[in-house]
A and B are shown apart, each in its own frame.
Chain A
């Protein structure tokens, strides 16, 4: 008999290849099977057989830090985690009633949301191809529900378009598509593109424009019932004798262009923004809490790292208890440091000039998110909007509707702002009360009769004023990546950095996890070789 062991399933085959050829061979094999081009994740790392007594200090208990602690413990290392804040999770965070938010100048906000309501001030959505994160959510029992990314019935608003009146995304997107198709048809029929196309492709394209653009038989975008079946009706189809619908009137090309709706249409084409998306039930911090359940006993909270030193014997990390003022030094063989670069740039850390230069060259983006608790779900009850976003060119950038508890009575929390760039700085520079007032003023364009009337309370989170990060996410440019990225990631003696900033998936939880897995895999190899 043939003694070759034939794998039963594709997974077994992959795990055989993984064992024989390592991660790269595995990845190539997976890609060949049409299976994994969407991710570099090939399953949790198979780290095992740490030397007896080998120890690792993990700095920061965000997702990168807690994943490192989780997997290194499984591999047999003795692990300790030091975390500045009084809670685990880092940027994986939800704010609920009873929580306090403290800013860099000492300003305190008390969140007064009703039980069950929350704001996700940081991460809020998970793409379906973030396989690492989804893997650990499943493994750790984090329940996920759909995040409504694309809602055709939500609004787009531009101060200088349509007299400042918000339009339904469905209407302007259909109009944009229709007008562009009509123009394309005209150009094709005029022969303007004959030198670019075969006769056959030209015919196909004409059919495509007619069908895709909802054009009539004369290739015109008119606003007939065919168009209405996409953009909606003035009088909706009904039953019985009065059932006949009337179409809605289309906007002119010029008005449609003024809406800039293509920016939203393009946004939904982004790989990381495509449906299906998810969120954890009950708040994004369910993920951090699930990791904490695994590694909580290893974590010292309220512990600010003040200096990081190393020599050929090991690593020693000075810390200070933020509640008691107690000072101490923790020692271990190795260190995985996930402290954000903004903070690390100011900490006395004994690493080479290349890594220091990388930290110095890595500013963070800014962002403000504002949660507005409303007494009732008027967007559902009065506007038929269930989840999704209404976009605006005001500083708040959008308002976003809750993705859970549809049709329920009682209060719910709207995202009243997700502001970046200049608008984000403007809002961050205000007091929390001023930010909430600005969000009410600006958000009222969408729901003028209800917005203020139903408002109960709010909380405004300015990332540039969060004392443990002073920013949102690492900002790489092509130049800074070329100059510094490898130096940031490379093992420096006994210290390796990990986190969102040490990844090509910046500002995604997936990036924090992938960076962490890569860092501990290299650290383990180094420790085994020592």
Chain B
């Protein structure tokens, strides 16, 4: 259940500390309580629910209207190539933030495996090695094709 996840705390994850540092650098209006104890799960489904669902929705069908689209991740042919979502997760694109600062390579691999396997039928897993390979190769971010 969502509530239980919210109330489950653990040690200060590396990712959370890194995020705090970037927030300070941004000097944006911020709550000021310091890093929270909120921990993101290591399990793909839960990463999806705790992070991606905020924009892509629980059913992964996305939202918004023309010209202001959160693309669907469900039934998305662009995810057939596993490097496509990987580079977007690592580098962000437009309104899609990069998650290299709040998710570990393990969490990124897990959530991409879940998104590709559960909301689509691409069963080959995304591995930590994939994340590292794409991080090193650092290909350009593919353009948004959000209307298709």
Contact = CB atoms under 8 A, between A and B. Distances in A.
Interface stretch (A13-21, A326-334, A446-454, A467-475): A467-475
Q: Which of B28, B58, B96 gathers the greatest number of chain A CB atoms within 10 Å?
A: B28
Contacts of B30: 420
B94 A395 contact: no
Interface string A422-441: 11111011100010011001
A467 B65 contact: yes
A478 B50 contact: no
Nearest to B68: A343
B137 interface: no
* Range, interface on chain B: 35 or more
Contact of A393 (B34, B50, B68): B34
B91 to A, nearest CB: 8
B124 interface: no
B29 A125 contact: yes
A476 interface: yes
Q: Which of B2, B53, B57, B98 gathers the greatest number of chain A CB atoms within 10 Å?
A: B2
Contacts of A306: 66-67
B22 A477 contact: yes
Interface stretch (B5-13, B76-84, B113-121, B127-135): B5-13
B23 A123 contact: no
Given A346-B146, A392-B33, A508-B29, A422 B38 contact: yes
A422 B5 CA distance: 12
Contacts of B63: 103-106, 465, 467
Contacts of A506: 26-28
B94 to A, nearest CB: 3
B74 to A, nearest CB: 13
A397 interface: yes
A196 interface: no
A420 B54 contact: no
A422 B53 contact: no
Nearest to B65: A467
Contacts of B6: 394-395, 426, 438, 441-442
B3 A437 contact: yes
Q: Which of A103, A105, A304, A366 gathers the greatest number of chain B CB atoms within 10 Å?
A: A105
5 nearest CB pairs, A to B:
A263-B34, A345-B94, A342-B95, A104-B63, A507-B28
Given A395-B36, A465-B54, 17 more contacts: A156-B33, A267-B33, A273-B32, A341-B94, A345-B95, A346-B68, A359-B94, A360-B143, A363-B98, A389-B31, A393-B33, A393-B38, A395-B6, A420-B23, A422-B16, A426-B50, A471-B97
21 contacts: A105-B57, A106-B63, A160-B9, A263-B33, A263-B34, A264-B32, A346-B144, A364-B97, A365-B26, A366-B54, A366-B97, A393-B37, A395-B38, A419-B36, A421-B35, A428-B55, A429-B51, A441-B6, A476-B26, A477-B22, A507-B28
Interface of A: 103-106, 123-125, 156, 158-160, 260, 263-264, 267-268, 270-273, 304-306, 341-343, 345-347, 359-366, 389, 391-395, 397-398, 418-426, 428-430, 434, 437-438, 441-442, 462, 464-465, 467-468, 470-471, 473, 475-478, 506-508
